[in-house]
Amino acid sequence: MGGPVVLGIESSCDETGAGIVQDGKLLAHVVATSMDEHARFGGVVPEIASRAHLQSFNPVVRRALDQAGLRLGRIDAVAVTTGPGLSGALQVGLAGAKSLAYAAGVPLYGVHHLAGHVAADTLEHGPLPAPCVVLIVSGGHTSLLLVRDLVREPILHLGDTLDDAAGECFDKVARILGLPYPGGPAIDRAAREGDPRAVDFPRPLTRSGDDPYAFSFSGLKTAAARWVERHRLRGEEPSVADGAAALQEAVADVLTRKALAACRAYDVKTLVVVGGVAANSRVRALAEERCAQNGVELRVPPMTLCTDNGAMIAAVGDLLVRAGAEPAPLHVSIDPSAPLEYAALTPLPAPTGRAA
């Protein structure tokens, strides 16, 4: 028979995802993206994303159920991203998930989006070792975490980006270099033909006395813009390949340097790298190299599980159900700026009454 079957829904940004997990095993994984609709604007447009979620929700869920060979009545729980993310996009996913849970007569679990990224690795490599250091690196988030039991214990937030996330830096510099959106894959492709030593870009917040676990990529973005500007003022076009390679090297250096420092400080022997930028070839390669040098095991999910997807939300839901966690009430709301403290995220509506 097996354990409970959990359907996960993700709609925090521009991907509509549905995944099905049972006993830590992935049964279905379907994603529809509206990225092409945003590309001409150079970034995600919230209204377009919300409309795309509305159009994609039912087809994506149906495809996931078909892929798993299941009917909705066979689902034992529904998990959904309730934050953080774009408000309208989250609302679409939550409304759909509530409808599914109500129709199937099963419990609903609200999940923190970043906890989903952490749990994505369990679908490939099994349970997370306790403790482990997790580096979450994506278009909107760059965070270092110390994780023990993902669904039973608080998550220790070691550090975050103070301004631009790593993926955001890639997007902005790609635009400056004339590369397409999304910038991360475009930078990665261009860097293959470049020299990472051609430009001496800064490594932000890596000097003695800086916060060892905080990140800052706004200055790196500015340094890249100034480098391009200096060339063009001389009537020259900069080498896109060299600029991309040097930028990618700087980002990978900072990310992996701080992640390994956290592993040493907390005597942790496993580093998990998750999020969209975990798909970057240089971030992966440098993480492998430095983990090997420090005797640390590196775990990175497959590329299909690095970007936003419903499978990672189902993975958290599966862990919550098996841990006996309380489900969310059906009137649970979203929290677009939710801090990461626990994997379960069940913000309630603000109390009604007269304003102060």
Angle, helices 183-191 vs 240-265, to 10°: value is 110
**Contact call for residues 125 and 271 (beta carbons, < 8 A):** no
Smallest CA-to-CA distance from 48 within 38, 58, 39, 59 is with: 38
What pLDDT does residue 228 have?
Answer: 97
Whether residue 355 has pLDDT greater than 90: no
| pLDDT at 46 (0 to 100) | 82
Residue 223 confidence (pLDDT): 97
Please say if the pLDDT value at position 41 is more than 80.
Answer: no
Asked whether the predicted pLDDT for residue 348 surpasses 70, the reply is no
Indicate the average pLDDT of the chain. 94
Burial label, 118 (beta-carbon count in 10 A; 0-12, 13-18, 19+): buried
Residue type, 111: V
Paired tokens of 115: 């906890």
Average of pLDDT values for 86-110?
Answer: 97
Residue type, 18: A
Cα(141)–Cα(269) distance, integer angstroms? 24
Q: Which residues is 110 bridged to in the sheet?
A: 80
- Residues 136, 114 contacting (CB under 8 angstroms): yes
Task: Return the amino acid letter for 121.
Answer: D
- The reported pTM is 0.93
Contact in structure between 255 and 134 (CB atoms under 8 Å): no
139 falls in which pLDDT band (50, 70, 90)?
confident
Residue 224 reports pLDDT greater than 70: yes
Is the pLDDT score of 52 beyond 80? yes
The pLDDT assigned to 42 comes to: 75
Average pLDDT over residues 301-307: 92
Written as one letter, the residue type at 159 is G
The yes-or-no verdict on residue 350 having pLDDT over 70 is no
Indicate the pairing of strand 156-160 with strand 142-147. antiparallel
Contact 25, 329 (CB under 8 A): no
Confidence check: pLDDT of 292 > 70? yes
In whole angstroms, what is the distance from residue 7 CA to residue 67 CA?
12
- Mean pLDDT, rounded, for 25-48: 85
Q: How confident is the model at residue 331 (pLDDT cuts 50, 70, 90)?
A: confident
- Alpha carbon distance 202, 258 (integer Å): 15
